[in-house]
Amino acid sequence: MPFWVCVTGTVMIACERRSNAVPDHFGYGRPATEKEIAVKAIAIRPDGKGLPAGSGTVLDGAIIYAAKCASCHGSTGVEGPFNVLVAPDTVGAKPFDQSSKRVKAIGNYWPYATTVFDYVRRAMPFNAPGSLSDNEVYSVTAWLLHANKLIGADAVINAKTLPGVVMPARKYYVTDSRKGGDGPYE
């Protein structure tokens, strides 16, 4: 290798400035307003904190599901072509570690009913996520819970009743209570 190529390379490396500091501003955009943050901060906790006002019924949910969900999940939630939402073996079935061929669906795999509301509200329908009103989301959630044999046909789902729905799989989930390390559990 020629001498000047080595010298040039060494000088370039020596002159390079490296900074691990993150700049305060990249020169574009603006800080989000409180209102913009509030629109996106819609997380629902397992205990129901964050659930909005409103309510829904199984009957209304069946109508909304048929119009906005069945094309992807099937008319009863079992057929697909995409994710199966209704399990044929929701109540009283063997745990997944004892029955490898079980279909994982809302009724037999999800640990919290409030998660159903949160997911539907954020991500469904696939072609227009976030387009359902809170009452429509409560209704679809009611229909899904009823189809999975977890609530009665006359149930009304709202911010008070939804957290009270006990999902059969909840007992298989454990809270991570580890201590120590660099994570948030210290």
Q: Quick one: pLDDT at residue 71?
A: 94
Q: What is the CA radius of gyration of the chain?
A: 25
Give one DSSP letter per residue of 105-131, joined into a string: -HHHH-SBHHHHHHHHHHH-STTSTT-
Q: What is the pLDDT of residue 154?
A: 97
Say yes or no to pLDDT of 186 above 50. no
Residue with tokens 């899904």: 144
Query: Per-residue pLDDT for 15 more than 80?
Result: no
Ordered by where they begin, the domains of the chain are 52-84+102-172 (1.10.760.10)
Identify which has the larger pLDDT, 49 or 27: 49
d(CA 45, CA 22): 32
Q: Is 97 helix (H, G, I), strand (E, B) or coil?
A: helix
Residue 18 confidence (pLDDT): 62
Mean of the per-residue pLDDT values of the chain: 86
DSSP state of 102: P
What is the chain's length?
Answer: 186
Angstrom distance (rounded) from CA 109 to CA 172:
9
Residue 148: other Cβ atoms inside 10 A: 24
pLDDT band at residue 134 under the 50/70/90 scheme: very high
Range 135-144 average pLDDT: 98
Task: Give residue 85's pLDDT.
Answer: 93
pLDDT surpassing 50 at residue 168: yes
pLDDT tens for each residue of 64-121: 999 999 999 999 998 888 888 998 766 666 666 677 777 888 988 899 999 999 999 9
pTM for the structure as a whole: 0.75
Give me 17's structure tokens: 């400035």
For residue 1, what are the CA distances in angstroms to 5, 95, 143? 7, 67, 74
CB 96 within 8 A of CB 128: no
